[in-house]
Amino acid sequence: MSASGIKKLTLGVLSLAVITGLAGCTTPQERRTASGDFEYLKVQPSRGLAIPEGLDTPSQNQEFSVADLEKASSAYGRELDIRAPAQILPLVEGSKVATDGGRISIDFELQEEGGNVRDEVWRVLWEYFYENGIRARFWDKDGGVLITDWFHSDVEISPDNSFFDTITFREKEIHIRQRYMFALDVTPKGDIAKLSALLLGHEETIDNRKVADTLSDLDKRRYTVNLLNGAIGHYEFKKRVVAHEKEQQRFKPITLSVGKDASGLPAFIASAKFERTWSRLALVLSDLGFVIEDRNKSIGTYYVRYSGSQSLWESIWGDGIDIDIPKAQYQILLGDLGETTSITLLSIENRPVSEERLAEIYDALSDAMERGVFN
């Protein structure tokens, strides 16, 4: 193809793209209005059934009768909003939605452990507000009320492609300012939270011209639901991040050193808090040939029996870990030392195992705790 032909083809494609872009660009009003004409609004009502003189009027079924448009309270014609209604997204487990006099609420389950549950929920929600440029005019955390200052939600209606924006035209700019009141109520058990939102104020301008400061009930719900969905979605996202971090924490290396427990007995000192050390031991003991026969977390004790390595692969390849201690019952005591945890090995009769015997299992246990076990 010649250079002139390529140029013509390119211009043709660009022209088609411009036309397509123009056709696909609609105003907010057009997006909420039914397409086509509204000639049905001009239709005159029928005069009804004419009953000849001397005959009785037949009974009529009113099940499918249509209300008089002049008396109908709902919108019709161009005033009818055809967009799908806004819905609360059940992003958090146990979500339920309710509307009470313009205030939209969502109930959701809480799974925070320890600390002040209300403060934790407020912290995550405020993080979402702050990231989206929403500031507080009034905030009573204990009372569970937050009233926002005016914040901007600016929408610039223009084609997505900058080519159209610079060469063809620029649509109108819509600027929106709003204020909301949020209420947070947490049950005494701290297991269920109710977050409510109420739109307090709305201002809308198009090309710096004020067009509205009041909204229909549908639009109030749409704005409020969208903001609530964003807040609850952020809360659920943070929950998943924390859960993922906790799961990853289980498999991070835990180093061991030799020391003494709180009673002065010879022990291993794990470089992790009690919870992580307790969970890791449950994963690694079987790899070392210990069978967990019972456990009591409240007193930090595993009741185990050492029976040697029983792994299928180790029995096939002959590379099992062989610890030089008697095949017998033992107690493994974990002591909470704050940032570290002591691990003490006792006989089933509560006699401490000698330092020499501890040395026999140190290398194997240390290696298993550091590399973790991914079952």
What residue segments make up the domains of the chain, in order of their start? 78-246, 256-371
Give the per-residue pLDDT at 163: 36
Average of per-residue pLDDT values in the chain: 76
Token look-up 């390119």 returns 10
From 112-121, 222-231, 308-317, 366-375, the region with the lowest mean pLDDT: 308-317
Q: Residue 302 burial (CB < 10 Å; 0-12/13-18/19+)?
A: buried
The highest-level CATH class for domain 256-371 is alpha beta
Question: What value does the mean pLDDT take over residues 151-155?
Answer: 71
Give the per-residue pLDDT at 39: 75
Half-sphere exposure at residue 72, Cβ-oriented, CA atoms within 13 angstroms: 12
Tokens of residue 361, six digits: 């299992």
Query: Model confidence over 349-369: pLDDT tens digits?
Result: 988 888 888 888 898 899 888
78-246 — its CATH code? 3.30.530.50
From 74-88, 106-120, 140-154, the region with the lowest mean pLDDT: 74-88
pLDDT above 80: residue 203: yes
Q: Enumerate residues 6+ apart whose C-beta is below 8 A from 223.
A: 178, 199, 202, 215
Question: What value does the mean pLDDT take over residues 314-335?
Answer: 74
Give the per-residue pLDDT at 157: 44
Question: What value does the mean pLDDT take over residues 328-332?
Answer: 93
Give the per-residue pLDDT at 56: 85
pLDDT above 90: residue 25: no
Q: pTM, whole model, 2 decimals?
A: 0.54
Per DSSP bridges, beta strands 96-100 and 173-186 are: unpaired
Q: Which of 367, 320, 323 is nearest to 345 (CA)?
A: 323
Give the per-residue pLDDT at 147: 95
Give the per-residue pLDDT at 160: 42
Give the per-residue pLDDT at 18: 40
How far is Cα 308 from Cα 9, in angstroms, rounded to an integer?
78
Between 115 and 317, the more confident residue is 115
Question: What value does the mean pLDDT take over residues 17-39?
Answer: 57
Q: Label residues 213-245 b or e (16+ Cβ within 10 Å = b).
A: eeeeeebbbbbbbebbbebbebbbebbeeeeee
